[in-house]
Amino acid sequence: MKLFIKALVFLLLFNSHSSFSGDWLSKQKISTVSFETGGFYLYSKEPWNNANNCSHTDAIVLQSNDANYDKAYSLLLMAFAAGKSVQGYSDGCVTHDGRTYNSIRGSKYLLVTD
């Protein structure tokens, strides 16, 4: 019985990787920005890596309900105006018009670089 429980725990931990989803998005230069329902969309000519297996990789989204939305919005808009690259951590997808995009968090690992 103990062996069965150990095996079950091992299998549950081994197969629970989706509950720990999320990863860094690749560093990209922002080519276009837009406001859409629920957030601020950042488009790039090159696709961002798909950290959460969302359906589209041409844009990432800062959700309008993010705790640091105003600060992150200012930072991202400055990055766009200055032609800088953006990198962030994504731990989920956002749905808009039947498409899903990787979301970024204003309160978690948002970087602006050359």
pLDDT of residue 102: 96
- 99-104 vs 93-96, strand pairing mode: antiparallel
- Could you report the average pLDDT of every consecutive run of 10 residues in the chain (114 residues)? 57 46 89 91 95 95 93 95 94 92 87 90
Which tokens sit at 104?
């970024």
Domain 21-113 classification at class level: mainly beta
Which ranges constitute the DSSP H helices of the chain?
2-14, 69-82
pLDDT of residue 17: 42
Rounded to whole angstroms, the Cα distance separating 90 from 74 reads 19
Rounded to whole angstroms, the Cα distance separating 90 from 61 reads 9
pLDDT of residue 107: 77
> How do the domains of the chain map onto residue ranges?
21-113
Q: Which residues contact 28 (CB under 8 A, 6 or more apart)?
A: 44, 46, 48, 85, 86, 87
